[in-house]
Chains A and B, each alone.
Chain A
């Protein structure tokens, strides 16, 4: 057993020295391979990290959100729906929510206006980091917003939200209910939507069905559904980018195949000599196996490490706009580093497997050559 390991070790030694002898040629291959792995790994790491972020944020969202639909579009919901839903068994509480979007021409960005649970303080607001940054307004400054009638509502900033929740709160303005109604002209007995808290999570579905039965013009949205939709959205986005990147992978595979089949005269002579001094075909195949393993694993690991820095240290400057969305007020947030064996296995399948498959036949072809034939042709 030991001698067998010893043989493989010697072949590996030989492989490494042979790779080093052709530094430039192998370096080019490894650089290209590393770039391919780096691209795919960045896509996968980034989407997974954003997905986790979204899941973490949504954990605190309401069990059910009830929206009213009118002519197939989201409409304001009457306050008297609250009473009926609160009376349903298993419902802990129902709250009317006020929120909306406000377009600010100066920043050409949309702000999200939200009335906090306690109703807010009239004339004063709390602004998100992104709002404060783009409007250049901080604690104690004044932020005028235009109402639906064209009149200015002057609000003073009493605080800026902390940055740890910037993914959700970047474009947020917390405003009092009164100011909210003044800006958007919403009648007193209307809410944007309702948030429903349910005691037993297993009953959520039943309660959603009851709400739908009592008010056919509403659409109850469960938290699990929102999570699921986010999940598929990010799967779809990363899958789409991977399909686009498939062109690059294919080009690389053709490159690797071409390189493996077009052996230089020197390499052919080397194999010829090895066979002439007693190497078996299986030894040459082992030599080629180690060569492939060294190249693919080093590039694979280098690509992954680079992608890690790209995504978790530099925050993916290359893919960010495509994967995150198109909002103008980009939140600046730190992604929590997260890599699991699943992502690594997926990457391995997407890169090392096609490389290996493309080089099997060329390396066999070079292993079975006749030493006699090679020497004669020199």
Chain B
């Protein structure tokens, strides 16, 4: 275990999140069982008041979830020189088996949290809380995942032991078997480029169809999720190489460093924004037949589609410009 300030901060944030989540989940369970909008009972009134609290708690929680995703990567990156053979976050996350699962869970939870906030936003725009059961079911689904994330994160940090000099000899002789691999498997670049541009084009087309013809909401959600996964793969396969100008360094984390102008932050930000609003747009479409939502749902859906397409558009534009303007030629030999 390493007593680094950032690790203490991440522990603190995950413990607070878990406590607030358990608190919210207990009310979510009660709402699912006892909610009756037509009733004027004491219980219903107090539940209606509670929904404000839960909304506020979760908005804060999900905002911190977003920050902690980046703090986690940054911490992993910052700790890399404590481990033999590790060059950046990729190596640190590989130190024990929990590193990558924590990262994946953090991303999944971030997306789910974003979708929850979108559903919440739609729900409170109508007078009769039409989506209350959906949103609290989703909360009960997200809560265990977030608790698992905290548990795994604790296990990950507990399992980190810096390779420091011991009194008998340098560490490399006492633990030379645990050399960390910091390379990441990647797809061949030409194929990855083709798949990346095709997926972006398809998402754009689906978004336009959904916007004008109001058809294919589910397809748009699936495509935007696929585009997210493909874009991350593309980042590893070829995009990052244009930033490093090195044909061998496939690392999705180093672009977050200051040497590359913190390029990773806006690239990941646009991707995360794209996937959350993309999935949200598809889900919003499914509620269009609810009467009390009818006047607002199309407006919200349109906004979400535009936000998603804009995010992916900015991402594609930045990446394409980087590839065109760079002196680096990837398929040059």
Contacts and interface: CB of A to CB of B under 8 A. Distances in A.
Chains A and B come from one and the same complex:
yes
A212 B169 CA distance: 10
Contacts of A238: 4-5
B81 A345 contact: no
Nearest to B262: A341
B232 interface: no
A224 interface: yes
B291 interface: no
Interface in B8-23: 8-10, 12-13, 16, 19-20
B12 A208 contact: no
B170 A222 contact: yes
Interface string B164-179: 1101111111000000
Interface stretch (B60-68, B181-189, B222-230, B269-277): B60-68
B49 A219 contact: no
A357 B20 contact: yes
Contacts of A361: 53
A276 interface: no
Contact of A228 (B7, B78, B164): B164
A345 B52 CA distance: 28
Interface in A353-373: 353-354, 356-357, 360-361, 364, 367-368
A350 B170 contact: no
A221 B52 contact: no
A243 B2 CA distance: 13
B233 interface: no
Given A225-B171, A228-B163, A356-B60, A243 B12 contact: no
Contacts of B287: none
Given A240-B3, A353-B16, A225 B163 contact: yes
Given A228-B165, A229-B164, 5 more contacts: A72-B167, A221-B165, A342-B71, A357-B60, A364-B52
B3 A239 contact: yes
A147 interface: no
A353 B13 contact: yes
Given A224-B81, A225-B171, A364-B52, A353 B164 contact: no
Contact of A346 (B6, B81, B84, B162): B6
A44 B9 CA distance: 12
B70 interface: yes
Contacts of A232: 2, 82, 162, 164
A350 B172 contact: no
A231 interface: yes
A370 to B, nearest CB: 10
A227 B81 contact: yes
Contact of B78 (A225, A281, A342, A348): A342
Nearest to A369: B49
A-B pairs, top 8 by smallest CB distance, nearest first, are: A239-B3, A349-B9, A364-B53, A232-B162, A229-B164, A368-B49, A235-B4, A346-B6
Given A219-B169, A228-B81, A228-B163, A349 B68 contact: yes
A130 interface: no
Interface of B: 2-10, 12-13, 16, 19-20, 49, 52-53, 56-57, 60, 64, 67-68, 70-71, 74-75, 78, 81-82, 84, 124, 162-165, 167-173, 258
A273 interface: no
A374 to B, nearest CB: 15
A342 B6 contact: yes
Contacts of A329: none
A360 B8 CA distance: 22
A282 to B, nearest CB: 7
B57 A346 contact: no
A162 to B, nearest CB: 30
A135 B235 CA distance: 61
Contacts of A72: 167-168
Contacts of A227: 81
A288 to B, nearest CB: 9
13 contacts: A205-B172, A222-B170, A225-B163, A225-B172, A231-B82, A239-B3, A240-B3, A345-B6, A346-B9, A349-B6, A350-B5, A353-B12, A353-B16
Interface in A9-33: none
A236 interface: yes
Contact of B5 (A340, A346, A367): A346
A293 to B, nearest CB: 11
A285 interface: yes
B74 A222 contact: no
A349 B12 contact: yes
A331 interface: no
Contacts of B16: 353-354, 357
A141 B51 CA distance: 80
Contact of A342 (B8, B10, B74): B74
A350 B81 contact: no
Contacts of B49: 281, 368
Contacts of A347: 9
